[in-house]
Amino acid sequence: MIDLTQRFDVLVAGGGNAALCAAIAARRAGASVLVLEGAPRFYRGGNTRHTRNMRCTHDSATETLSGPYSEDEFWEDLWRVTGGRTDEELARLMIRESRAMLGWIAEQGVRFQPSLGGTLSLGRTNSFFLGGGRAMLNALYRTAERLGVDILYDAPVTDLDIQDGMFLSATAAIGGKPVEIRAGTFVAAAGGFEANIEWLKEYWGEAAENFLIRGTPYNKGALLKLLLAKGVQQVGDPKQCHAVAIDARSPKFDGGIITRLDCVVFGIVVNRNGRRFHDEGEDFWPKRYAIWGRLVAAQPDQIAYILFDAPSLRMFMPSLYPAIEASTIRELATKLTLDPDALAATVEGFNAAVVPGTFDHTALDDCRTEGLTPPKTHWARRIETAPFYAYPVRPGITFTYLGTRVNKDSRILMSDGKSSANMFAAGEIMAGNVLGQGYAAGMGMTIGSVFGKIAGTSAAANARN
Amino acid sequence: MNLATLSADQVEAERLMTVCNSCRYCEGLCAVFPAMELRRAFPAGDLNYLANLCHGCGACYVDCQFTPPHEFKVDVPRVLAAVRAGSYADYAWPRAFAGLFRRNGLVVSLIAALSVALFVAGFALVHDRSALFAVHVGPAAFYKLMPHNTMAALFGGVFLYAILALAMGLRAFWNDIGAPDTRGVETGSLWQAIKDAGSLRYLDGGGVGCHNDDDQPTDTRKHWHHATFYGFMLCLAATSVATLYHYLLGRQAPYPWYDLPVVLGTLGGIGLLVGPVGLLRAKLKRDPLLRDESRFGMETAFLAMLFLTSLTGLALLVLRATPAMGTLLAIHLGVVFALFLTMPYGKFVHGLYRFAALVRYAKERKMIEAGHGEA
């Protein structure tokens, strides 16, 4: 039984990678630590449950990484995906610290493996967790428990007592009853608000009702909302979120990685009216992967259909749900409840515009359309060999960018620009400092681990003073 | 896919493999998932192959984000355990005896009890009380109670039957799990499988240890299984050496305590006492979510038979110079006879099918490494 009347050195709100790295780092620095995870034990860890790798700088190939990844290259990648919308000081700090993170995280019991099948493009840059994100999380929890970190589940923070940027206490719902918990320092690591449909609607309107949420239903952003309401400085575009096109038949929440579909490149994508709306051959995975969620979100009813024919069926990862199959395009349209005439016209128009080329899905090949709007600039092949297939897709929201501004100690900044006396933030709740927009695989975990460790270390030092 | 040919357990396993194949996070944990990645459809033979490749370490359950209460209800260790047990009946020879795998605990117990009773009764009928309870010592002491040739014929017979039935089952399994072009066996794959089976390579949760009771990787089944398996092999070696002694050197049992058959048998016997007890304890403590309850009887029966074989054998060794020898010999022979007789129709077959699956996997690995794999 944990004595909740005591004053903890460090109180961590959240239970994912960032929260646990903060808790472990603070505990290793000698602080007493309480972790309040809002979700039940099974759903602990928020989006970390569904992750599989982290992106860290390293000087040479290792047993699990196929080659070096320099700080400069990491910076260039980050600059490119964010279009320069990043806090350079924090971003460069994160990249620098990521070098030591691979060793540190392994010391906490996390194990790595070579990149997963089908992800060879990440084998050099990203370190994959053996057994995936939940295995990583389990290792962190085991280590935290062994070190003597106190952990409570089903314990969401419902209120904060903050005066002049100074944290005094938090109120958490524990066993359904409000309990006030005092601590010397506070680490906010409770993720974003992607599972809060009402909040998403403030920016997306009714369209948000049709979004699918890839993580747990517990990512409601309650702590973020509290902090912003109590004078913490905001960072990041509230409308920005990482959205990919996922199978429309997926569960509303927590479908995770397995609902993804990466077959846009092999066919065409039409909306509810049976019309194409974007160049399916624009770019490679993972770039194209990250844009299609937003493209589908902009279509009527937030739904679209990926269409392809028999020769493409086995060219991509097997899907969770089987592709919808038909012997003609019109029959396929009927099965999808689309207008058969409209769909047939779209496919005929597309087929007529395809120019001959040599198909190579590993390169930006010369298979393209001519005189078609929008064009398909690569990998365009006629859709003509039965059976024909389709996947219905909807926007799958992975995470949000709105967060709390922090400095290089992961210390929260207040809206008047002053730094908080004793509050820190790590992980998705402050990812917007580094990611103004865009994403590259594994960065979320890097942000969580690096700033989690910094926040925990800073908080422990702060608590001793 | 013709679902009608799949059992209910296989239908569930097919659903899980489809889920897992679209995730693949577990591919570094064991052999099952890399083998799965080579496939897109999962007919019955492939499911039986994957099920026998699974060692039940539980790591993929603990690491999975989709286990109950998640609506995807992924529980690979339990479902593959059920499919595995079903596969034993699928390949039983002769087919008519497949039903022995149902209520297997009861079947094995009845056969064992009957076998022991018949040996005791047989001894009692053949010998008068004075011979049965006399003290027999020196070479050929056992054969005063049962002539050597009778013993050899009886046990040689049941042993050969067991070998035949096991071999037929193994052949059926091998043909069912192998694509036609990969049925041949080369020594490289065989040696790899011997190493993997002998070290229980895939019973270690991908390196951190197995999960049995809960999500802490503290499982010690690997050690208990080593004690059981190597204990069994030592006992087999003891019997083989004794047979050579008898026919090549003309030396008759019982042998002195320091002689090779007795040393091997005693060491093996200790393994067969300690190992099954440890495995049974682990079984009782296993997380119910990982457990395939319906096969509890079969697994316990096999452990009990190994334990009793060893217990009666060691008791015979210790008390062979006393009047209890006659009765103990009858009991021990009864247990061993029943062990051989039930071998093809009980948990013993898991070793053969798993070994065959490991050979097949070693071949597949070569294909993956040569770049011919689908993934």
Q: How do residues A76-108 score in pLDDT, each as one tens digit?
A: 999 998 999 999 999 999 999 999 999 999 999
Burial class (CB in 10 A: 0-12, 13-18, 19+), B56: buried
Span A406-428, average pLDDT: 97
Beta bridge partners of A161: A169
Nearest CA of chain A to the CA of B203: how many Å? 15
User: What residues does each domain of chain A span?
Assistant: 8-238+401-464, 243-396
Q: Lowest mean pLDDT: which of A303-312, B89-98, B216-225?
A: B216-225
CB-based contact (8 Å) between B59 and chain A?
A: yes
Strands A126-129 and A166-174: unpaired
Contact B24 A116 (CB under 8 A): yes
More confident residue, A120 or B302: B302
Beta strand residue intervals within chain B, DSSP E = none
Q: Categorize the per-residue pLDDT at A286 as very low, low, confident or very high, splitting at 50, 70 and 90.
A: low
Burial class (CB in 10 A: 0-12, 13-18, 19+), B5: exposed
* Fold (topology level) of A8-238+401-464: FAD/NAD(P)-binding domain (3.50.50)
Quick one: pLDDT at residue A104?
Answer: 98
* Residue at token pair 């290259």: A73
pLDDT at B127 over 80: yes
Span B224-234, average pLDDT: 97
What is d(CA A131, CA B174) in angstroms, rounded to the nearest whole number? 30
pLDDT at B1 over 50: no
Contact B37 A117 (CB under 8 A): yes
> Which alpha helices (DSSP H) does B54-103 contain, by range?
59-63, 76-90
pLDDT at B372 over 60: no
Q: How do residues A363-377 score in pLDDT, each as one tens digit?
A: 899 999 999 999 999
Quick one: pLDDT at residue B294?
Answer: 85
Q: Which of A111, A130, A254, A316 is the best substitution to test chain B (most B C-beta atoms within 10 A)?
A: A130
SS3 per-residue string spanning A207-230: HHHHCEECCCCCCCCHHHHHHHHC
Quick one: pLDDT at residue B373?
Answer: 46
* Residue at token pair 């790591």: B59
Task: Rounding to the nearest 10 degrees, give the CA dihedral for residues A317, A321, A322, A323.
Answer: -80
Q: How do residues A233-281 score in pLDDT, each as one tens digit?
A: 999 989 888 899 999 999 999 999 999 998 999 999 999 999 999 999 9
Residues from chain B contacting residue A257 (CB–CB below 8 Å):
23, 25
Angle at A416 between CA A410 and CA A422, to 5 degrees: 35
Quick one: pLDDT at residue B240?
Answer: 94
Who among B26, B34, B40 is closest to A131 (CB)? B26
Q: Lowest mean pLDDT: which of A74-78, B252-256, B259-263?
A: B252-256
Q: How far is CA A220 from the centre of its chain?
A: 14
Chain A residue with the nearest C-alpha to that of B39: A318
Residues 67-126 of B with CB under 8 A from A: 67, 69-71
Contact B65 A130 (CB under 8 A): no
User: What residues does each domain of chain B span?
Assistant: 3-91, 101-364
Residue A425 in tokens: 């933030």
Q: Which of A50, A108, A116 is the best substitution to test chain B (most B C-beta atoms within 10 A)?
A: A116
Helix (H) or strand (E) holding B284: helix B260-285
Residues from chain A contacting residue B40 (CB–CB below 8 Å):
314, 318
Nearest CA of chain A to the CA of B293: how many Å? 23
Contact A318 B21 (CB under 8 A): yes
Quick one: pLDDT at residue A287?
Answer: 63
Helix (H) or strand (E) holding B151: helix B148-177
Which residues have a Cβ under 8 Å from the Cβ of A300 and sit 6 or more positions away? Answer: A271, A272, A273
Strands A8-13 and A33-36: parallel
Instruction: Give me chain B's average pLDDT, please.
Output: 91
What is d(CA A83, CA A77) in angstroms, rounded to the nearest whole number? 10
Residues from chain B contacting residue A111 (CB–CB below 8 Å):
206-208
Residues from chain B contacting residue A317 (CB–CB below 8 Å):
22
CB-based contact (8 Å) between B57 and chain A?
A: no
Who among A42, A111, A114 is closest to B208 (CB)? A111
* Residue at token pair 């409570």: A152
Contact A130 B29 (CB under 8 A): yes
CB-based contact (8 Å) between B207 and chain A?
A: yes
Q: How do residues A141-174 score in pLDDT, each as one tens digit?
A: 999 999 999 999 999 999 999 999 999 999 999 9
CB-based contact (8 Å) between B369 and chain A?
A: no
Quick one: pLDDT at residue A428?
Answer: 97
Contact A318 B375 (CB under 8 A): no
Span B101-105, average pLDDT: 91
With CA atoms as reference, report the closest residue to B326 among B151, B118, B120, B112: B120
Who among A42, A251, A257 is closest to B69 (CB)? A42
Q: Which of A17, A120, A138 is the best substitution to test chain B (most B C-beta atoms within 10 A)?
A: A138
User: Are A308 and A266 a contacting pair, CB within 8 Å?
Assistant: yes
Span B199-206, average pLDDT: 91
Quick one: pLDDT at residue A351?
Answer: 97
Residues from chain A contacting residue B216 (CB–CB below 8 Å):
142
Q: What is the predicted ipTM?
A: 0.94
pLDDT at B342 over 90: yes
Number of A to B CB contacts under 8 A, please give it.
79
What is d(CA B26, CA B34) in angstroms, rounded to the nearest whole number? 9
Q: How do residues B13-31 score in pLDDT, each as one tens digit?
A: 999 999 999 999 999 999 9
Domain A243-396 has CATH 3.20.20.70: no
Q: Which long-range contacts (CB under 8 A, 24 or more apart) does A205-208 make?
A: A207/A297, A207/A302
Contact B63 A254 (CB under 8 A): no
Instruction: Give me chain A's average pLDDT, please.
Output: 95
Q: Which of B18, B57, B63 is the best substitution to test chain A (most A C-beta atoms within 10 A)?
A: B63
Nearest CA of chain A to the CA of B246: how many Å? 54
SS3 content of chain B, % helix, strand, coil (to 5): 70, 0, 30
More confident residue, B172 or B4: B172
What is d(CA A291, CA A304) in angstroms, rounded to the nearest whole number? 14
Residues from chain A contacting residue B67 (CB–CB below 8 Å):
42
For residue B30, the one-letter residue type is C
Residues from chain A contacting residue B26 (CB–CB below 8 Å):
131-132
Nearest CA of chain A to the CA of B369: how many Å? 12
Q: Which of B17, B20, B22 is the best substitution to test chain A (most A C-beta atoms within 10 A)?
A: B22
Q: Categorize the per-residue pLDDT at B205 as very low, low, confident or very high, splitting at 50, 70 and 90.
A: confident
